[in-house]
Amino acid sequence: MPGLDGIRAFAVLGVIVYHSGFSWLPGGFYGVDAFFALSGFLITSLLLAQWQRSSRIALADFWSRRARRLLPALFLMLAGVGALAAVWPRTLDTPYLRLDSLATIFYVANWHFILDHANYFFVTSQPSPLLHTWSLSIEEQFYLIWPLVVLAVLVGHRRGRGPARPGTAGESRRRLLGLFWLSVGGALASGAWMGLIAGPGGDVTRAYYGTDTRAQSLLVGAAFAVAVALWKPGQSPRAVRAMWWAGILGVAGTALTWSLIPETSTLAFRGGFLLASLSATAVIACVSQVPQSPVSRALAIAPLRALGRISYGVYLWYWPTLLVADHARTHLSGFALLAARLAIVIALATASYHLLEMPIRRGALSRWRARVALGTGAALALAVVFTTTALVAVPGFAGATSVSASASQGLHLPLSVRTGSATGAGSPSSTPPGSHPAYEAPEKGPPVKVLLVGDSMAGSLGVGMQQVQSRYGAEVVNEGHPGCSLGAGSLFKVLWYTVPPGAPCSSDGSPSGLLDAWRTWVDRLNPDVSVYLARTDLFDQSVSGTWEHVGQPRYDALLEKRLQEGIDVLSSRGGKVALLSSPYYDSGEQPSGQPWPEDSPARVRAYDIILARVAAKNPGTTVLIRLGSLISPEHHFASVVDGVPLRCGDGVHISVSGGRWIGEHILAELVSLGRQHSETSPSGSWPGYRIGAPSWFSKLPCAA
């Protein structure tokens, strides 16, 4: 069936084009479902053929063949990733690479990544070079479980008498019908379960990576394999014509789903994956039953067959290659970058196929030698990964941009703006550049209570700031929570992922949960000044089913309204509110070679205008402190300012030394803001609050 290689070629190309960031193929990720459907069809066909020949299924032989086919190339890729991590540590060496490798070896990577997804810093950092192995894990789990299901349904056991023979043709047909309806029912149940998990307030990533939710594609292919064994459509002229048309409809369905239903669409998780699987299976039906059809002949052309034969290796190598061969290293973008990546991947996959995979499949090693070699290969691959990750640490400030704060004209403006125009412009400061004191003796009186709120940017800032708080007569409570801000919608896009906001934000896209938490803290603690900092406001947000961001009028109005609601809560007991302007960010580049949208300087500027406008509307309550001008002088991202490393290696968060440095520049201002409230409304207490880094801070690539 040469056309099946063509299906493999299109499937792997769709995945690569999608992950290369081309907007004209937003559903290229459905290529994985084409692979799943093809695997379900082929594996079930092999099992049924053996059962029909011998009334048995040799599980040990089946699993041994799968291991010889899949494991050698996988071990080679793992060893290659380990070696590359030593060369490009910031790109390939993540804090989780060891665990990722173990999960890959034992084919549980999809569940490992689901658990990591609960960690906000998994989705806000450079992705694992082994992230793509989630689909391989699902396939291997299918190879392990599905033969047992087929064996139970078709062969069965009689107590004390061994396996039951299929007996009459009627008995065989009855058992096949049972397997067919089990496959169909399982596919429908899997699709419905996906829609339920990914429903409003649900976990899209859990639905995407779960074995139970993605089984629908495998079972659709399996159902067609059973249908072929039952009804033998290739022997009926009427059925052949139906398969001929199925191929045409399958191609059309594939084109529509791949081009019109992105992963951010509600339809994707409520029938889109099932539709993609049915379309792919329709093409498989045509290719396998009508080899002379136009669809079959088109898919059997030599270039597609050649790519399809090495598609497993192409899939193994494409993701690490995409991370390494980026715009910064190649100086290419668009189709030129895609072509360069494809050339590298095809070369690696071809070498793996001819030098490693095929010799082992053709029996270059005897059975016992193959078992020893596979175990040795796994150990060597893990040894390479563990050794390189032990020797090379993720640099906190690799390629850091260093700027002198005194060189920035932005610091010639006052750090805080209490009133002024909508843009927040102020008059020139009389304070000479660089004269901010490293130490300022606190005034007499109780410490000024500072409540720090926002997302992980606020949380990371608070770690270092608490270390210098006593110098300025401040007491900082750090309530920055990852992935949670006033502007967060029901979902937001960050780097490669679409995720819901974290607690205490509400999952319905409203700020009610966060505002309720703030109200509780304010009532209990009576802060003298509350400080808000959040980067999540800059992400693409899902608002009422549409994607919006800062700089678009509708979202700007919504964000301004929510900021006002937040100020009303934070100042409800008379304390002041300080809004921190946004610094610039550099979290790397998209697969297409372009910067990530949330790093856009235009978004930072638009956001700061909104903050200034809200502060100007609350002159007696709220001030805008120009954190952006302080740590992003000259209106550019900088990791190091005045010789101090301020940012973590992700180009986003504040390092411990950065938090100390920022505290030395703004704590005196915050204490001055909150002093009057501290003297006139001293109630409220801060007992039992942690001083130090929150547990999630250790997951950041930050220097001390």
User: Looking at the predicted structure, is the pLDDT value of residue 252 above 70?
Assistant: yes
User: Looking at the predicted structure, is the pLDDT value of residue 194 above 90?
Assistant: yes
Residues 6+ apart with CB under 8 A from 613: 422, 424, 560
Mean pLDDT for the stretch of residues 347-366: 85
What is the DSSP secondary structure assignment for residue 442, as one 8-state letter? P
Q: pLDDT grade, residue 166 (50/70/90)?
A: low
| Bridge partners of residue 449, in order along the sequence | 475
Closest CA to 80 of 297, 422, 298, 344: 344
405-423+443-632+668-683, CATH topology level: Rossmann fold (3.40.50)
Task: Assess contact for 346 and 353: CB atoms under 8 A.
Answer: no
Distance CA 290, CA 297 (A): 10
As given in the structure block, the two tokens for residue 483 are 């992935």
Which is it for the CA torsion 351, 357, 359, 365, positive or negative?
A: positive
Domain boundaries, the chain: 3-391, 405-423+443-632+668-683
Share the mean pLDDT of the chain. 85
pLDDT of residue 443: 58
Element (H, E) at 645: strand 644-645
DSSP 90-135: HHH--TTHHHHHHHHHTT-HHHHHHHHHTSHHHHSSPPPTTTTHHH
Find tokens 């419905």 and name the residue: 192
pLDDT of residue 403: 56
User: Looking at the predicted structure, is the pLDDT value of residue 583 above 70?
Assistant: yes
What is the DSSP secondary structure assignment for residue 582, as one 8-state letter? P
- Establish whether the linkage from the previous residue to 504 is cis, with ω within 30° of 0: yes
Q: pLDDT grade, residue 121 (50/70/90)?
A: low
Task: Assess contact for 415 and 665: CB atoms under 8 A.
Answer: yes
Looking at per-residue pLDDT, the higher value among 444 and 592 belongs to: 592
Residues 6+ apart with CB under 8 A from 640: 397, 400, 401, 402, 403, 646
Instruction: Name the strands in the sheet holding 640-641, side by side, starting at the edge strand that comes first in the sequence.
Output: 402-403, 640-641, 644-645
Q: pLDDT grade, residue 266 (50/70/90)?
A: confident
Task: Assess contact for 414 and 668: CB atoms under 8 A.
Answer: no
User: Looking at the predicted structure, is the pLDDT value of residue 638 above 70?
Assistant: yes
Task: Assess contact for 127 and 100: CB atoms under 8 A.
Answer: no
Phi, psi angles (nearest 5°) of residue 532 = -115, 130
Q: What is the largest CA-CA distance in the chain?
A: 99
Per residue in 368-381, pLDDT (tens digit) is 565 556 666 666 76
As given in the structure block, the two tokens for residue 667 are 């704590």
Q: pLDDT grade, residue 681 (50/70/90)?
A: confident
Element (H, E) at 573: none
Q: pLDDT grade, residue 506 (50/70/90)?
A: confident
Per residue in 424-483, pLDDT (tens digit) is 333 333 333 333 444 455 556 788 999 999 999 999 999 999 999 989 999 999 999 888
How far from 484 is each of 162, 650, 661, CA to CA, in Å? 59, 18, 25
Task: Assess contact for 84 and 322: CB atoms under 8 A.
Answer: no
Q: pLDDT grade, residue 519 (50/70/90)?
A: very high
| Bridge partners of residue 157, in order along the sequence | 163
Helix or strand or coil: residue 494?
Answer: strand
> How many CA atoms does the CB half-sphere of 93 hold within 13 Å?
25
As given in the structure block, the two tokens for residue 188 are 């429908």
According to DSSP, the β-strands at 448-454 and 529-533 are parallel
As given in the structure block, the two tokens for residue 677 are 């409230």
Q: pLDDT grade, residue 642 (50/70/90)?
A: confident
pLDDT of residue 419: 36
User: Looking at the predicted structure, is the pLDDT value of residue 227 above 80?
Assistant: yes
